[in-house]
């Protein structure tokens, strides 16, 4: 497609986007597919967990958000965790923009695998402000 034609067609597309009936035209669904994912309200939480005593990474720590039963990650052999969490109490939309509430987010670190990989005290930390990604590095005390 020639550049001028491409520009005109994109402009036409924008015009369609501005008139009301096309709100449904751009959000479509393949007939055997899922709805499109147009939400951007989940936050990626990454980081590492290590032992305060040995400075070595800890495997098998459950990292979760207080009061959210399903959003969590587990640390791997290198102590790394990486997961997405939907934080409806902390993130909301205002006039189509994502707003992060200046509230304190509680992230829990729980040793759920018993004595395997060592025994560590459960810890909660507070994240005062954040954007689309939270990165946390913590050291846990041994029991």
Would you say 72 and 64 are in contact if contact means Cβ atoms under 8 Å apart?
Answer: yes
**Given the complex with another protein, which of 64 and 118 has the nearer CB atom?**
64
| Min separation Cβ 97 and another protein, Å | 15
Q: Do 61 and 75 form a contact (C-beta atoms < 8 A)?
A: yes
Contact 58, 117 (CB under 8 A): yes
Inter-CA distances, 72 with 40, 44, 119, Å: 18, 11, 20
- Candidate ranges 4-12, 93-101, 107-115, 116-124; the one touching another protein (CB under 8 A): 4-12
- Residue 70 in the binding site for another protein (CB under 8 A): yes
- Interface with another protein (CB under 8 A), residue total 40
**Using an 8 Å Cβ cutoff, are 78 and 48 in contact?**
yes
Site for another protein contains 89 (CB under 8 A): no
β-strand pairing of 61-65 with 105-111: antiparallel
Q: Is 34 in the site for another protein (CB under 8 A)?
A: yes
- The residue within the footprint of another protein, chosen from 76, 82, 103, 113 (CB under 8 A), is 82
Residues that bind another protein (CB under 8 A): 1, 5-6, 9-10, 12-13, 16, 19, 21-22, 24-25, 28-42, 44, 69-73, 82-86, 88
């Amino acid at each position: 497609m020639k550049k001028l034609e491409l520009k005109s067609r994109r402009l036409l597309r924008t015009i369609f986007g501005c008139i009301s009936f096309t709100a449904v035209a751009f959000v479509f669904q393949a007939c055997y597919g899922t709805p499109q994912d147009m939400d951007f309200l989940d936050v990626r939480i990454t980081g590492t967990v290590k032992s305060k005593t040995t400075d070595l990474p800890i495997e098998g720590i459950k990292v979760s958000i207080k009061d959210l039963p399903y959003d969590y990650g587990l640390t791997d052999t290198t102590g790394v965790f990486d997961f997405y969490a939907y934080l409806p109490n902390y993130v909301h939309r205002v006039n189509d923009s994502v707003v992060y509430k200046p509230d304190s987010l509680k992230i829990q670190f729980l040793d759920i695998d018993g004595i395997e990989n060592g025994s560590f005290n459960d810890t909660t930390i507070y994240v005062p402000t954040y954007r689309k990604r939270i990165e946390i590095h913590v050291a846990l005390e041994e029991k």
